[in-house]
């Protein structure tokens, strides 16, 4: 974000404030604009967050940064074959080992480390403090360069208090952004965006570990040594709409996925089968297959039973338009265009990449996307928190972050992997 030479902000383009609001979904920012807030901004685009729809996964993709170790601070280390991290991340000060991705090194403002946890205990107080700290730090920053800030309070407000409290918070943010524009001058561009969306349902816990135990699997934190072949590790931390499962033996992976089909709250699970990704859920089973054609990616939705991703009508439209080849593959761009507003946005590239790209350093053996209204996470936290909303799954509400600017019209839909040029270009 540091300008220099001929590309210095204010020289060949306006200075830019990048402000990320944790967890604010497209639909709520759209509603805020319809009430007259953020009037100096253009229409918000849907910024499609990668699955699992989690902060560090999303922001590392948006900025082309290093992948985090895992999906959350508690993660499974596949090299050590043990669970690592957890609550200790939030204790003390922010040291290099507590910086999950290199995008954080570019931040000019982020909340104090303790706020990352306290935001789910006292969200209103943390939001007010965080917003004022950001305001003061920004006014003191050098005026000749860009500024990148991340506000986590919005995520806590939505998780714990719900949309009404967030709406009030957005009103206070709007006032501060108007003040910033007056202070800096209208030549300063403000780019407002979020990392992921949110399902706006009161959520209940999925009894994932209990169910797998009934199916004959054993839970463990450590999968080293001579363990039972049906042992699995499930990092349980934030109360989120996804889960990641790591297996002691890869030959039990399909069995784990099959055992999840009947569990209440599970929408579908994913696992790799060779170079393909298998999607299995109550709606059926399919394989997502990819191939290269003259350097361009193509995907096929190979249904084995039912229609787990509800893509048969889109497949037929692609066939009728001539976009499918004789083997049933269509280009990545064709699939994106026809599914960007789907119940699962951009599902083939998104879900295939969740297991076949470095979104995290330690990719799960099985990824679960829960239905809206369900979550999995740390039991003690779940007992003291009423969860008014959450994120993590592959559905449209959680996948729909937003992106808007005071100076530029943004595309209607933007993949997280394509956002870097819009944010930093």
Whole-number pLDDT of residue 9: 59
In a domain, 94, yes or no: no
d(CA 127, CA 339): 35
Which residues share a beta bridge with 269?
280, 368
Whole-number pLDDT of residue 12: 61
DSSP state, 418?
Answer: G
C-alpha distances in Å from residue 389, one per residue of 12, 165, 185, 234, 359: 42, 12, 37, 22, 24
Residues 151 and 238 in one domain: no
In a domain, 72, yes or no: no
User: How buried is residue 367: exposed, middle or buried, by Cβ count under 10 Å (0-12/13-18/19+)?
Assistant: buried
Residues 169 and 222 in one domain: no
Residues 154 and 61 in one domain: yes
In a domain, 88, yes or no: no
In a domain, 84, yes or no: no
Residues 330 and 187 in one domain: no
Determine which helix (DSSP H) or strand (DSSP E) holds 204, and give its type and residue range.
strand 204-205
Look up tokens 């995907």; give the residue: 299
Cα–chain center distance at 131:
23
Do 194 and 32 contact (CB within 8 A), yes or no?
no
Residues 117 and 18 in one domain: yes
C-alpha distances in Å from residue 225, one per residue of 82, 228, 241, 249, 397: 11, 10, 31, 12, 42
d(CA 342, CA 132): 38
Three-state secondary structure string covering 240-275: ECEEEEEECCHHHHHHHHHHHCCCCCEEEEEEEECC
pLDDT digit string (tens) for 81-140? 999 987 766 656 666 676 789 999 999 998 877 777 777 778 888 899 899 999 999 999
In a domain, 299, yes or no: yes
Whole-number pLDDT of residue 144: 84
All residues at 6 or more sequence positions from 125 whose CB lies less than 8 Å from its CB, including other chains: none
pLDDT digit string (tens) for 259-311? 999 999 999 999 999 999 999 999 999 999 999 988 899 999 999 999 999 99
Which two three-digit tokens encode residue 8? Answer: 């210095």
Residues 337 and 224 in one domain: yes
Has this prediction a pTM greater than 0.75?
yes
d(CA 64, CA 103): 8
In a domain, 91, yes or no: no
C-alpha distances in Å from residue 185, one per residue of 4, 143, 181, 204, 407: 21, 11, 5, 47, 13
Do 281 and 310 contact (CB within 8 A), yes or no?
no
Q: Which residue ranges in the chain fall short of pLDDT 70?
A: 1-13, 88-96, 98, 226-227, 380-384
Residues 147 and 278 in one domain: no
d(CA 146, CA 143): 8
d(CA 61, CA 395): 18
CATH code of the domain in which 131 resides:
3.40.720.10
Residues 127 and 243 in one domain: no
Q: Whose CA is closest to 21, among 143, 160, 118, 166?
A: 166
Alpha helices of 123-249 — where are they, by DSSP H?
A: 123-140, 153-156, 163-184, 208-214
Q: Domain limits at 240?
A: 204-384
Do 338 and 314 contact (CB within 8 A), yes or no?
yes
In a domain, 80, yes or no: no
Q: What are phi and psi for residue 84, nearest 5 degrees?
A: -130, 165
Determine which helix (DSSP H) or strand (DSSP E) holds 330, and give its type and residue range.
strand 330-331
In a domain, 180, yes or no: yes
Do 97 and 126 contact (CB within 8 A), yes or no?
no
d(CA 158, CA 398): 12
Do 302 and 274 contact (CB within 8 A), yes or no?
no
The answer, yes or no, to whether the previous bond of 255 is cis (omega within 30 of 0) is: no
Whole-number pLDDT of residue 186: 81
Total domain count for the chain? Answer: 2
Phi-psi region of 131 (alpha: psi -120 to 50; beta: other; left: phi over 0): alpha
Residues 342 and 402 in one domain: no
Residues 396 and 371 in one domain: no
Do 201 and 28 contact (CB within 8 A), yes or no?
no
Residues 141 and 262 in one domain: no
Residues 160 and 234 in one domain: no
Phi-psi region of 54 (alpha: psi -120 to 50; beta: other; left: phi over 0): beta
């Amino acid at each position: 974000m540091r300008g220099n030479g001929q590309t210095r902000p204010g020289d060949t383009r306006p200075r830019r404030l990048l402000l990320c609001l944790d967890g604010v979904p497209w639909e709520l920012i759209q509603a805020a604009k319809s009430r007259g807030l953020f009037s100096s901004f253009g229409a918000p685009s849907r910024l499609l967050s990668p699955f699992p729809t989690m902060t560090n996964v999303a922001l590392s993709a948006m900025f082309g940064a290093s992948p985090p170790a895992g999906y959350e601070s508690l993660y499974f280390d596949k090299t050590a074959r043990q669970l690592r991290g957890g609550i200790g991340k939030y204790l003390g000060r922010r040291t290099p080992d507590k910086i999950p991705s290199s995008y954080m090194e570019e931040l000019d403002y982020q909340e104090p480390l303790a706020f990352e946890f306290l935001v789910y205990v006292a969200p209103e107080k943390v939001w007010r403090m965080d917003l004022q700290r950001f305001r003061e730090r920004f006014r003191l920053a050098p005026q000749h360069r860009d500024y990148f800030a991340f506000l986590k309070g919005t995520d806590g407000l939505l998780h714990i208090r719900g949309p009404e409290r967030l709406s009030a918070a957005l009103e206070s943010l709007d006032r501060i952004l108007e003040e910033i524009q007056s202070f800096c001058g209208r030549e300063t561009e403000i780019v407002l965006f979020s990392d992921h969306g949110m399902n706006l349902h009161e959520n209940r816990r999925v009894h994932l570990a209990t169910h797998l135990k009934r199916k004959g699997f054993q839970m463990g934190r450590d999968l080293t040594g001579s363990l039972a072949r049906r042992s699995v590790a499930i990092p349980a931390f934030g109360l989120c709409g996804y889960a990641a499962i790591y297996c002691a033996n890869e030959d039990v992976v399909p069995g784990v996925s099959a055992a999840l089909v009947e569990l209440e709250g599970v929408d579908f699970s994913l696992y790799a089968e060779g170079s393909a990704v298998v999607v299995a859920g109550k709606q059926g089973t399919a394989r997502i297959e990819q191939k290269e054609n003259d350097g361009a990616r193509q995907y096929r939705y190979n249904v084995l039973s039912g229609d787990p991703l509800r893509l048969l009508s889109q497949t037929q439209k692609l066939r009728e338009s001539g976009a499918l080849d004789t083997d049933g593959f269509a280009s990545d761009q064709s699939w994106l265009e026809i599914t960007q507003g789907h119940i699962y946005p951009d599902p083939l590239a998104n879900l295939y990449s969740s297991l076949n790209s470095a979104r995290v350093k330690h990719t799960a053996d099985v990824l679960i996307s829960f239905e809206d209204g369900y979550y999995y996470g740390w039991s003690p936290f779940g007992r003291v928190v009423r969860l008014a909303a959450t994120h993590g799954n592959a559905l449209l509400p959680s996948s729909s972050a937003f992106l808007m600017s005071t100076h530029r019209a943004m595309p209607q839909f933007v993949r997280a992997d394509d956002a870097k040029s819009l944010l930093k270009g």
